[in-house]
Amino acid sequence: MLVFTTVPSTTSLTSSSILTKDPTNLPSTNPPILNNLATSLKVVRDFSKDMLDNTSESFRKFANDFENEIERAYEVEQKFERTTVIRLRNGSINVTFIVFFKSGISPANACAPLEKAIKEDGKLGNFEIIPGSLECSKPNRKYFGHV
């Protein structure tokens, strides 16, 4: 007479077990790298309606002066390439601009020179900045059609 015995199979997970269906979708542990940074801040100055037109003399003059001050703030950042003012809006003057870098830079390092320059005296060169108005973020694609 033959006797068959079955041994129950068990599966256990330990704290080091990882179950994934697609290992290529794991989150990256590397910080994001930026080649450009969409940024805005508010300048204490009178706004005129012709500043809405990026071809107007008042827009071009303001943008040129502002871009020069951004360049001064980034002069020690070797990865800095240039900046471009994209838009001016009312609200004192709400400036939207993009900072371009020669190579990738971490988001924290991308905005640090601006934060430092403004923190010192609340100004960016001759531009008085409204406290708390600096916003640094990932680039917004809608701006790139205007560069």
The CATH number assigned to the domain holding 87 equals 3.30.70.960
Domain ranges, residue 77 = 38-140
Inside any domain, residue 136: yes
Buried b (16+ CB within 10 A) or exposed e, 39-70: bbbbbeeebeeebeeeeeeebeebbeebbebb
Locate 47 and state its tokens.
């706004």
Residue 122: predicted pLDDT: 94
Strand order in the sheet with 80-90: 80-90, 93-105, 34-43, 135-137
DSSP 29: -
Inside any domain, residue 90: yes
Inside any domain, residue 49: yes
Residue 26: predicted pLDDT: 54
Instruction: Collect the ranges in the chain with pLDDT lower than 50.
Output: 1-22, 140-147
Inside any domain, residue 5: no
pTM of the model: 0.71
Locate 123 and state its tokens.
């100004």
Inside any domain, residue 20: no
Inside any domain, residue 101: yes
Q: Residue 139's closest CA among 131, 129, 147, 130?
A: 147
Inside any domain, residue 66: yes
